[in-house]
A and B are shown apart, each in its own frame.
Chain A
Amino acid sequence: MAFIIETRGLAYSYENGEPALKGVTLGISGGKKTVILGPNGSGKSTLFLHMNGVLRPGKGTILFRGEPLRYDNKSLASLRQKVGLVFQNPDDQIFASTVEEDVAFGPINLGLPGADVEERVKAALDIVDMAGFRGRPTQQLSFGQRKRVALAGALAMDPEMLLMDEPTAGLDAQMVREILELTEELDYKGKTIVISTHDVDLAYEWADDVILMSEGSVLFSGTVDGLFEAEELLHKARLTRPILYSLNLQRHLRTGHPECPRPRTVPECCQAFFRKEITNEAGTFYIACLNNGNLDVGALQKFRKHNRGAYGSYAKRVSRELGLEIHHYFNSIEHGLIKTSMGEDYLLITEPSLAGLVKSKVEELDRRYSCKIKAMIIDDVRVSGRQ
C-alpha cells in the first residue's frame, strides 16, 4: 500500500520539556478518509504541524510520497502547497481584515498571477458557501462562518491532502453534517482527507482508516472495525464505543443475528435491524445532475415534499439561489436511502461529478443488505412538460 505521508519514529518535545510525541510511526494512504482519534492532549495537533513542515521533529523522519521532508524554503513551500492544514481555532488562522483577503493569502504567497488567485478564491468560497461574504470584515463573522473561511483559506492552496484539526469542534449539528459532506465531496474529487477528532461516533461513520493516539504514541492503526473490537485500547485512550456499534453488538447478543457486517449509518441500521418489518418493494433513487443550473421545476413536483434533497456544495447553492422546494439540504443521501427502502421514490439533486458517488453509496447499501433499491442517474432535470 502506498502511503502519501508517513512518519517514522517521530519524537518531539515542546520548550517546557514535556514530550508531545514519543516515537510516532504511522502512514496515511492516499485517497482515503483517515481519522486520527485521540483524547485532548494526545499529540494530534503537534503531529499535524509536523506533517505540514511547521515543526521539525526532534527525532525521526517524515516522508511525503516516499521522500524525506527537507526544510529549505523551496521544499517547504512546495510541501505546504500539497499538504493543507486547517487549524482547530479559526482565529489562530484568520488574520486578514476581510474574508477574500484572507482566502487569497495562500495563493498570493504561492506567487500566482492575479487571475488565478481570483479563480481560486472564488472556487474556495463557493465550496464552503461563503461567496456572499467576500468583502465582510472577518471579526464580524460567527464562529461557524470563520471556521468555513479558515477551510476556504486552506482549500485555496489546492492541496492534494487536507489535514483538518478538530473540524467539527464547537459547531452546531447541521454545520457538522455540512462539513462532513464537504469532506466526502473533496475525498471523492481526489483529495486525501485527514481529520483529527475525539468524537468516536463521527470516526465510526466517516472514516475508512483510523489511527488511535494517546499521550503522544500510536496505540492502533488500521480499519475502524478493528479499533472498536479492541475495547481495552479504547479504555486506555479514554474513549468509548460508538452508539451504533454498541447497539449492533446488543442486537447480536440478544437475537443471535450475526454481528457483521456492522451497520455504520442509520440507513444501514434500518436494514440490519428491521429486515422483517420492511415489506414494501423498494423505491427508486433518482439522482438528478445539474448542468449549468438548468432545472425543470415541474419535475420536482412529481416527488413528495419530504422526498427531495440536494447533495454537494454546488447543488445546494444552486437550489437555494433558484428557491427550489428542497426538503433535505444535509444528510440527503441517508434520508433518500431510508425513504426508498420504505418503498417511496426519492429525488436527489447533485452536480454531474458527484452523481457517481451518490450512486455508489446506494449500490453499496444494496450490495451489503440486498435491499433492491434502484439508483438511476438522470442526466438533466429537464423533464418535459414545462416551458
Chain B
Amino acid sequence: MPSFIIFLIGGVMAFSLAGVFIIALTQAGQPILGIAVAGATIGVTEEGLSLATLVFLRTFAGLFVMLFFAASTPIPHIFNSLKSVGLPDYIAEVTIMIYRYSFMMLEQSSQMLRAAGCRMGFSGWRNSMRTMGMLAANVFIRSLEFAERSQYAMQSRNFGGGFPVYRKPAGMTPAWGLISILALAGVYLVGNA
C-alpha cells in the first residue's frame, strides 16, 4: 500500500512537472537564462521560476494531503461523517455499497480474465475482443445475482437501511484544534519571514 501511494504521487507529480516547466518558460519578466531559437529567444525569467516553484509545491502538498486522507480513512467513515453535514442517507449507503462490491467484482473479473487466458482466450486481436465482450456481459449478469444473494444475507441480519459504524473514529479534541492552529500559524510565520 505505501509503495502504491508513492507510485501515485510520483505519477501525478511527473505530470505536474511538465506543466510547471511550461509555466517557467512562458512568464514575462527579468530574464535569467535565454536560448535563441530561430530568431526568437526562449528564456527563463525570475518571475516564471518563482511561480513554477509555487505551483509545484502547492500541487505536491495538495496531492499528499488528499492521498494521505484517502489512504487512512475507511470509506464508510467518510460517508457517515458526510451524513452529519447533510448528505442524504441513501446516497451515503449506495456509495458505501458500490465501493464495497466493486472490489469483489474486480476480484471476480480478474479471476475470469485469468481463466479465459488459460483457455487461449487472448490469442490474437479478434479472440481478445470476443473474450472481453463475453467477460463484460458475464460480470454484469453475475453482479446482479451477487447483489440478490447479498441482499438476502443482509436481510437475514436485520438490515434496516443504513450502515452503522461499530468502531467510531476518534473524535475531535481540543489538542487537535490547538495543533492545527499552531501549524497554520507556523506556516504563516515562515512564509512571511
Contact = CB atoms under 8 A, between A and B. Distances in A.
Nearest to B75: A97
Interface in B129-164: 146, 149-150, 152-160, 163-164
Interface residues on B, range: 20 to 34
A166 interface: no
Interface in A45-103: 49, 52-55, 73, 76-77, 80-81, 84-85, 87, 89, 91-93, 95-98, 100-101
A101 B152 CA distance: 19
B150 A100 contact: no
A62 B78 CA distance: 42
Given A80-B157, A97-B74, A105 B164 contact: yes
A106 B146 CA distance: 20
Contacts of A153: 157
Contacts of B159: 109
A81 B155 CA distance: 11
B79 to A, nearest CB: 12
A139 interface: yes
A92 B164 contact: no
Interface in B98-116: 100-101, 103-104, 107
A154 B150 CA distance: 15
Contact of B158 (A80, A89, A96, A139): A80
Most buried by A among B97, B101, B158, B163: B158
Please report whether the interface of chain B is mostly helix, strand, loop or mixed according to DSSP.
helix
A67 B152 CA distance: 23
Interface residues of A, number: 35
Contact of B153 (A87, A100, A101): A87
A108 B164 contact: yes
A92 B166 contact: no
Contacts of B103: 139
Most buried by A among B103, B153, B164: B153
Given A92-B146, A95-B100, A101 B158 contact: no
Interface in B77-106: 97, 100-101, 103-104
B121 interface: no
A157 interface: yes
A117 B165 CA distance: 12
Contact of A52 (B74, B97, B156, B165): B156
B166 A95 contact: no
A55 B155 CA distance: 10
A223 B101 CA distance: 43
Contact of B166 (A49, A85, A101, A157): A101
B161 to A, nearest CB: 10
A109 B104 contact: no
A109 B157 contact: yes
A109 B166 CA distance: 11
Contact of B155 (A54, A84, A98, A139): A54
21 contacts: A52-B155, A55-B152, A80-B155, A80-B156, A80-B158, A92-B150, A92-B152, A92-B153, A93-B150, A95-B100, A95-B101, A96-B163, A97-B74, A97-B100, A101-B166, A101-B167, A104-B164, A106-B157, A108-B164, A110-B158, A139-B103
Interface of B: 74-76, 97, 100-101, 103-104, 107, 146, 149-150, 152-160, 163-167
Given A52-B155, A97-B75, 20 more contacts: A54-B152, A73-B160, A77-B158, A77-B160, A85-B156, A87-B152, A92-B146, A95-B97, A96-B163, A97-B76, A100-B166, A101-B167, A104-B166, A105-B166, A106-B157, A109-B157, A109-B158, A109-B164, A121-B166, A139-B107
Interface of A: 49, 52-55, 73, 76-77, 80-81, 84-85, 87, 89, 91-93, 95-98, 100-101, 104-106, 108-110, 117, 121, 139, 153-154, 157
